[in-house]
Amino acid sequence: MLSRKIIVNLAPANTRKEGSKFDLPIALGILIASRQISNPYLAEFLKDTIFVGELSLYGSVEKINGILPICIEAKKIGIKRIVLPKQNENEAQIVDGLEILPINHLEEIIEYLNGNSYIEKTKTKKFNSQNQAKYQFDFSEVKGQELVKRALEVSAAGSHNCALIRCSAVQGRQC
């Protein structure tokens, strides 16, 4: 095999691209362009599919952050299936109507795309808000304090610590 230069262009330039979630689609693009992946039905499959995942140097597909919003947006724009790291499978399951193909290694998707193997599709889970925990205390009885409530919600959503200190002006001193 001749050595050659490969240029990967992540266009458009004004769209922010960060993180390692592009590793898997870039590698697959190179493999398809170099005809190491070929299948008569490949173009049709690729039309409705997105690939996300970080690749290790050994070809294992590693977990990425933010898979839920990726799946939600993919469904919104008409994507039918997503190939993603096996570790992200549970998070992606709650998006109904999206076929999920979880993989552990680059070789699995290569064999699948070449028609030599099968990847078990993940079944979606129904998200039932009735199963959420009921708490004795919540913000429903707190009147006003919108900024404080918002700060607590953001803190809780991100699993951050938060300390609120009650401060009252005493003897003309300001807090």
Alpha-helical runs (H) found in 7-128: 23-33, 42-47, 67-76, 89-92, 106-113
Tokens of 127: 């998200």
Task: Output the pLDDT for position 167.
Answer: 72
Mean pLDDT (whole number) for 82-99: 93
Tally the C-alpha atoms within 13 A of residue 123's C-alpha that lie toward its C-beta: 2
Instruction: Identify the band that residue 171 occupies on the pLDDT scale cut at 50, 70 and 90.
Output: low
Residues 6 or more apart in contact with residue 42 via CB below 8 angstroms:
32, 113
Tally the C-alpha atoms within 13 A of residue 124's C-alpha that lie toward its C-beta: 16
Task: Output the pLDDT for position 132.
Answer: 62
Task: Output the pLDDT for position 131.
Answer: 57
Its pTM surpasses 0.75: no
What is the per-residue pLDDT across 91-115, written as a single tens digit (0 to 9) for each?
999 899 899 999 999 999 999 999 9
Instruction: Identify the band that residue 81 occupies on the pLDDT scale cut at 50, 70 and 90.
Output: very high
How far apart CA 136 and CA 117 sit, in angstroms, is 51
Mean pLDDT (whole number) for 125-133: 64
Mean pLDDT (whole number) for 149-158: 84
* 40-44, 130-134, 143-147 — most confident range: 40-44
**Is pLDDT at 172 greater than 80 in this prediction?**
no
Amino acid identity of residue 152, one-letter, is L
Task: Output the pLDDT for position 133.
Answer: 66
Strands (E), 34-157: 49-51, 54-55, 61-62, 81-85, 99-103
**Is pLDDT at 128 greater than 70 in this prediction?**
no
Task: Output the pLDDT for position 170.
Answer: 62
Mean pLDDT of the chain: 86
Task: Output the pLDDT for position 169.
Answer: 63
- Nearest CA-CA partner of 37 in 121, 86, 106: 106
Cβ contact 80:130 at 8 Å = no
Instruction: Identify the band that residue 43 occupies on the pLDDT scale cut at 50, 70 and 90.
Output: very high
